[in-house]
Amino acid sequence: MNDFQFQNTTKVYFGKDQLQNLHTEVLKHGSKVLFAYGGGSLKRTGLYDKVIEELKNNDIEVYELAGVEPNPRHTTVNKGVQIVRENKIPCLLAVGGGSTIDCCKAIAATVYTDIDDVWKLVKKEVSFNKALPVIAMPTIASTGSEMDTSCQIANVELHVKGGLASPLLRPVASFLNP
């Protein structure tokens, strides 16, 4: 199959040689990015190093949110919101499964609100009308979160999950390399 680019709301970079375009998408929003990922497989496969190299070689300042859990916890989202606010980060990069992408979507929604806890958004106590841009790089075919408008977040203290949905949460770009 040939590499190609396709855009239908989310711009899709498809194929093995598309990572070289990552910096272009990040730089549309600024020169800083929060790079969120899950466990160790990203580093074991070498993708972590390739992403970091692509970003740093193009003068992008990288902040990390590592260890995003399956069924991302609201506390992890809140940690990401804090990193973004403290460092004035204009863009989010989610690399991993649907949970990592969902975590970034929840961060994107929360950062422009007056709250520090995403769970208030999930419970619909607070609404949002603006979100940071999310760039997705799924490493597994599963949820479709790299092109949809929703996310699921877990509150392990309450033993419940809940979600957010808005066109504002659709990733601006996704990098797909089967």
Q: Which parts of the chain sit beneath pLDDT 50?
A: none
To the question of pTM greater than 0.75 for the whole model, the response is yes
What is the rounded CA–CA span in Å between residue 24 and residue 111?
A: 23
Overall residue count recorded for the chain in this entry? 178
Q: Which tokens sit at 98?
A: 């649907």
Read off the pLDDT of residues 38-74 as tens digits, 9 standing for 90 and up.
988 899 999 999 999 999 999 999 999 999 999 999 9
- pLDDT value at residue 30: 98
- pLDDT value at residue 74: 97
